[in-house]
Amino acid sequence: QVLLVASGGGLVQAGGSLRLSCAVSGGTYSNYDMGWFRRAPGKEHEFVAAIRWSGVVTYGVDSVKGRFTISRDNAKNTVYLQMNSLKPEDTAVYFCAARIPNGRGSAYDYDYWGQGTQVTVSS
């Protein structure tokens, strides 16, 4: 089975940076589309960013554009989310996910999910 382990969350002051990592094992990582999602306190699950197997990147939350960058290192079976200029409203549990590309268009339709890592941004 495919296992995703997210890490890198923590406490940071507003304006600071964090880099989240998601290590993937048990599958053919380089063939997967990878995504980052988050759930803020009292709010619904939302799509943050994705990077396809081909390297094509999309961002789903307008507020993160220009501040967050998704990337992948296929040699390490790892996807990253670099988060800069963090704001208190970025506080959430961040989840990574993987899917086998099959032409699905939904940003939320993924096959495998990690456990999440907490990001807390203080003001």
pLDDT of residue 117: 98
CB atoms within 10 A of CB 75: 8
pLDDT at 92: 98
pLDDT by residue for the chain (123 residues), tens only, comes to 899 999 999 999 999 999 999 999 988 778 899 999 999 999 999 999 999 999 999 999 899 989 999 999 989 999 999 999 999 999 999 999 999 988 777 889 999 999 999 999 999
